[in-house]
Amino acid sequence: MSGATTQTTAVVGIDLGTTYTSVAVVQNRKVTMFANDAGDKMIPSIISFVSRDEVVVGNAAKDRVATAPSRTVVSPKRLLGRGFDDREVQSFLAQQPYLAYRGPDGQALLEICQTKWAIPQICAHLLSHVRDVASARLSTDVTSAVIAVPVTFDDTRLAALQRAAKLAGFKNVDFIDEPTAAAVANRYVPGFGGVIGIYDFGGGTFDFSLVDVSGSTFKVLATAGDPWLGGDDIDLVLAEAAANQFWRQHKVDLRRQAVEWQQVKFACERAKRALAASDQATIAVPDVLRTATGMVSLELTIDRNIFARAARALITRSLDVCDRALAQAEIDKSKLSAIYMCGGTSHLAAVRDAVAAHFGVPLRDGIAPDQAVCLGASIEAAMVSQRRPASLRAKTLS
């Protein structure tokens, strides 16, 4: 694989997110996000093995979490290029219903359908899915892409992603940091200028970048990130609280039941998303326990205040990352012109309130926070396809 494409065919932008994956392209100076055949532009980053040779992706895989948990992998990006013995990896794997082993390269292998799979092989199914979607919509074989990556992706993780892309059928791949991609997407939003902060709270990673956009070209002043901080972690905090309450009521630990535990985590994700638009939401899993007197459901009502308390430590971690970037650039937060919110988790009122209080400067959404990274990657892809220098390309492997 080369670091820059030499083809004139379409180059797509991909956001391989921990929670959702998406793909877009620039055509006739217009950015278009593609939907798969099910109508999903935001495709759940979930892969399920129906058999060793048959794999489903996205919502079709999500539907199998409850029926085939040991064959279904949720958020594989969290393991991509990470050492099997890493504390965070061990913590993640301990919650999964499938077996995992240390591979020859020191990274994780997952045993599914009596076969051991490397994480790049798993992620390749996601990338292949969006490549097929783009190829169908563009009526051409798409083999070149710009993939957005967290700022914490080192050479090992980039090499793992490069391998996944090759397995998915891509021949040419460039990389761009996710916060930088978000800045690219917001470039023409009214009021965009000065030194801005890009606060990118995604499903599995948190990144923060300081970018000087006062001139004709962008200058990234500093970046910092936390590779194990995202919306998934907030879901887990809520799920732990729900499981604890269920234990107190029924003396059954749902965390020890693979199917039910996944259902609880998905219910917490739904409740979290509902709180972005409502003051109150319910964590609900019907018929989660069979007893002598009948089926018992889990139902827990939470409001924004309860959520804010539950998520406070994780939100504070994100702000600590921001302060590291500010210290690196030797910039006082009061000197920023604005903070641009990016990533699905940044929709939440608890997050926005904390960020506003911490920085004391305007918060701006600009481009939809959960689409900005993908759209920015596609704009960068258009630059690559036109053979112009990709000045914002953050990481490229040759």
User: Known catalytic residues?
Assistant: 15, 77, 178, 200
Q: How far is CA 352 from CA 200, 318, 323, in A?
A: 12, 12, 16
CB 270, CB 262: distance < 8 Å: no
- Give me the helices (H) in 186-339, please: 231-250, 258-275, 304-329
Amino acid at 366: G
Residue 42: which region, alpha, beta or left (left: phi > 0; alpha: psi -120 to 50)?
Answer: beta
Q: In angstroms, rounded to a whole number, what is the distance separating the alpha carbons of residues 283 and 268?
A: 6
Number of neighbours of residue 287 by Cβ within 10 angstroms: 12
Q: Could you give the C-alpha distances from 113 to 49, 71, 99, 136, 256, in angstroms and in order?
A: 7, 7, 11, 30, 22
- In the structure encoding, which two tokens stand for residue 189, read together? 């939003």
The conformation of residue 237, written as its DSSP 8-state character, comes to H
| Bridge-based pairing state of the strands 46-51 and 144-149 | unpaired
Distances (CA, A) of 5 to 37, 134, 140, 388: 28, 17, 16, 11
Comparing CA positions, the residue from 240, 268, 266 lying closest to residue 254 is 240
Return d(Cα 178, Cα 200) in angstroms, integer: 8
- CB neighbours (10 Å) of residue 272? 25
- Which tokens is 132 given? 């097929």
CA dist., res. 169 & res. 140, Å (int): 13
